[in-house]
Amino acid sequence: MMLGLFVILALSSGAMAQNCCSAENGREVQRMWQEVWSAEFTGRRIAVARSVFADLFAAHPGVIPLFARVQGDNVDSPEFRSHCVRVVNALDTSIHMLSSSAVLNKQLEHLSEQHIAREGVKAAHFGALAHSFSRVMPQVTNCFNPSSWENCFNRITNGIAAGLP
């Protein structure tokens, strides 16, 4: 009995160690992100965000109508370009906060409320968005580390998707 409990505990802590966004993971994500992100280079931000959404829309055309208010059917319109900048900017803020967890939690609560207010947005959509990011990031950043990125990206999207259907 004791042994069984011990094995389960050992297994579950092993699984947690693999999937949680550790401080080391966070620092590496910040490094990978900083290389592509700077206010000096607007074109980079839009290119990254536009590629992520192009990937998402190609894989899941059903989500396009969720972005009707920002002209999701025309990814080159100023409305959609500014939407791209907002999404990647929120990600930028969150990635930066990986080193201050309590502040990050407040930020994710705020982003979660903003998404609950949008009818049709589902928790599963964030899994799809995560896949698109994982396909785009290695193309633009140096020495991409998928496990660090995914652990911390999930830390952020799990917070945003909390409370979504």
CB 130 within 8 Å of CB 154: yes
Residue 79 is a binding residue for another protein (CB under 8 A): yes
Only one of the segments 16-24, 32-40, 115-123, 134-142 lies at the binding site for another protein (rule: CB under 8 A); that segment is: 32-40
Residue 30 is a binding residue for another protein (CB under 8 A): yes
Only one of the segments 9-17, 50-58, 84-92, 123-131 lies at the binding site for another protein (rule: CB under 8 A); that segment is: 84-92
- Using CA atoms, how far apart are residues 115 and 104, in angstroms rounded to an integer? 16
Residue 68 is a binding residue for another protein (CB under 8 A): no
Output the six-digit token pair for 84. Answer: 């791209």
What residues form the annotated binding site?
115
Whose CA is closest to 49, among 155, 149, 136? 136
* Cα four-point dihedral sign 105, 107, 108, 110: positive
Contact map string, positions 91 to 110, toward another protein, x by CB under 8 A: -xx--xx--x-xxxxxx--x
Q: Minimum CB separation from another protein for residue 109, in Å?
A: 8
Whose CA is closest to 88, among 124, 43, 151? 43
Phi/psi for 41 (5° steps) reads -120, 75
Residues found near another protein in the complex (CB under 8 A)? 30, 34, 38-40, 42, 45-46, 78-79, 81-82, 85-86, 89-90, 92-93, 96-97, 100, 102-107, 110
